[in-house]
Amino acid sequence: MDRQNSCGGLIKQIHDALERNANNAMRPMGMTMAQFGVLLALDCEEDGTLPLKALEQSLRVAQSTAAGIVARLEQKGLVESFGDPSDRRVKLVRVTAAGEACCRQAEKNMAQTESELLSGLTEAERGILLVLLQKVRDTLQ
């Protein structure tokens, strides 16, 4: 079997290329994929706030890793963390205005990347690809 052209091999190559492009786009901002993951998770919340535990689960990382990512984002002024007033054991993380602006830029970058990714497909092929990718994802979850 030709591993380079197997479904898994092709998906890996696409993932690697997307990750490389994303890292290149974020490098001038001094950001990492994990840091953007935190910002985007917070940005999806109505009040821009999540418990640190929810961020750990969202990123699928250990508590210490999530705490380190949040600490670096705090140093950059993109998030703030504080104790939950109703339960001092819970640490909450909130995106700042600067973090929201960073998310807007990330969304523009992601839209551009998505457009480039799908540029070789017709509209019908894009729809079929999306349906097939969703089926594969759902099978693995």
**Side-chain half-sphere of 95: how many Cα atoms within 13 Å?**
24
Beta bridge mates, 79: 95
Q: Which residue has the higher pLDDT, 38 or 113?
A: 38
93 pLDDT tier (thresholds 50, 70, 90): very high
d(CA 94, CA 116): 32
| d(C-alpha 70, C-alpha 116), whole Å | 31
Helix (H, G, I), strand (E, B) or coil at 68: helix
- Residue 128: pLDDT over 90: yes
pLDDT of 1 reads 60
pLDDT of residue 83: 92
- Amino acid, res. 117: L
Q: Write down the residue that tokens 């990382």 correspond to.
A: 61
* Residues 15-54: tens digit of each pLDDT: 898 888 888 888 888 888 889 889 999 999 999 999 999 9
Average pLDDT over residues 95-99: 96
Round the average pLDDT of the chain to a whole number and report it.
90
- The pLDDT value given to residue 76: 95
Which of 1.10.645.10, 1.20.1250.20, 1.10.10.10, 3.40.50.970 is the CATH number of 34-140?
1.10.10.10
The pLDDT of residue 23 is 81
**Spans of all domains in the chain:** 34-140
Give the three-class secondary structure for 130.
helix
- Name every residue whose Cβ is closer than 8 Å to that of residue 29 and which is 6 or more positions away in sequence: 102, 105
Can you read off the two tokens belonging to residue 134?
């969703």
